[in-house]
Amino acid sequence: MGCIRVDKITEHLCEPLRKCLKDEDPYVRKTAAVCVAKLYDINQQLVDDQGFLDMLRDLLSDSNPMVVANAVAALSEIAEQSPQTKVFDLTGPTINKLLTALNECTEWGQVFILDAIANYSPK
């Protein structure tokens, strides 16, 4: 449903998306992460109001590397659309989790993770 880019459908997408982001199946969670980025493209305010960005950030700590990679990809896409918004707050522990996922995800997932890490500057 996230591929249907119609404003009127977005409000009906929120509850199913919230459930999918917490689903026990990693395939569902990784697909839901991409859906958040698509929803952000349609309605940024809705994503902020519904707390989807926080849920997406939580997926950075997921046990499945594909979920982590898709969360990074979605957050990167959102950060490109709204550079003034602090979407990504990479910390040492988050970097460690990304590095752990790096070895086990696909090549495209590795690209997104490496791009995110390349933008990291320790404080």
Q: What is the pLDDT of residues 69-110, one digit of tens each?
A: 999 999 999 998 887 777 777 888 888 899 999 999 999 999
Note down the domain range covering 33. Answer: 7-118
Taking residue 36's Cβ as centre, other Cβ atoms within 10 Å add up to: 26
Query: Is residue 2 situated within a structural domain?
Result: no
Query: Is residue 84 situated within a structural domain?
Result: yes
The domain that holds 27 is classified in CATH as 1.25.10.10
Residue 17 has pLDDT above 80, yes or no: yes
Determine the pLDDT at residue 66.
95
Determine the pLDDT at residue 82.
83
* Residues 6+ positions from 109 with CB-CB distance below 8 Å: 65, 66, 68, 69, 70, 72, 73, 101
Q: Which tokens is 100 given?
A: 């752990």
- Residues 41 and 5: beta-carbon distance below 8 Å: yes
- Total domains present in the chain: 1
Query: Is residue 1 situated within a structural domain?
Result: no
Query: Is residue 109 situated within a structural domain?
Result: yes
